[in-house]
Amino acid sequence: MAKKKKPLVGIVMGSDSDWSLLKSACETLDGFDIPYEVRVISAHRTPDVATEYASTAARRGLKAILSAAGLAAHLGGVLAAHTALPVIGIPVKAGALNGIDSLLSTLQMPAGIPVPTVTLGSAGPINAAIFVAQILALSDPAMARKVAAHKRALRKKVEQGDARVQKDLEG
């Protein structure tokens, strides 16, 4: 059995109910060959675990943390308060406000504790994973090539879509 690579990214969710959403972040990181670890940690129910996780993340070799939470969504801020690593917030659609509360709770951080935040919905975890790849690409030429290839693939997909529409218009 091959030895598993040491994780570079931590994926932390406030509840296991967020797992179905976060799987796409894992798949995206897999596509960039970025190793990760996944944890369920609550800012409110296990604050000591959240503090320990964040405060030891850099020492354990992590380069960034993805933080997904719904409702009050304080997890990203708690993690960011205890590490110098980038913490990227993924608000989860849930509750009476359909995720608007988690979006605002993740975005509205005090000065000095940034938590850059991606969109609500299925694009959020994917964008968070791509953002991590872009961060890693700043110091890793191989990752920079992977990110550039990803951007080329997006462009090609749009060009193909345009060609299909143009062909249909010619009809």
3-state secondary structure of 169: helix
3-state secondary structure of 83: coil
Q: Token digits for 139?
A: 């110091």
What ranges in 32-170 are assigned the alpha helix state H? 47-57, 75-81, 100-107, 123-137, 141-170
Cα–Cα distance measured from residue 66 to residue 3, given in angstroms and rounded to the nearest whole number: 24
pLDDT for the residue 72: 78
pLDDT for the residue 1: 41
Question: 9-139: what fold?
Answer: Rossmann fold (3.40.50)
Cα–Cα distance measured from residue 5 to residue 76, given in angstroms and rounded to the nearest whole number: 25
Q: Tell me the per-residue pLDDT of 138-164, one tens digit each, with 9 for 90 and over.
A: 999 999 999 999 999 999 999 999 999
Q: If we measure between CA atoms, which residue out of 57, 55, 95 comes closest to residue 73?
A: 95
Cα–Cα distance measured from residue 33 to residue 30, given in angstroms and rounded to the nearest whole number: 5
**Whether the Cβ atoms of residue 27 and residue 55 lie closer than 8 Å to each other:** no
Q: Tell me the per-residue pLDDT of 22-35, one tens digit each, with 9 for 90 and over.
A: 999 999 999 999 99
Question: Left if phi > 0, otherwise alpha if psi is -120 to 50, otherwise beta: which for 111?
Answer: beta
Confidence of residue 2 (pLDDT cuts 50, 70, 90): very low
Q: Token digits for 153?
A: 């693939």
Q: What percentage of the chain carries pLDDT values higher than 90?
A: 91
Confidence of residue 95 (pLDDT cuts 50, 70, 90): confident
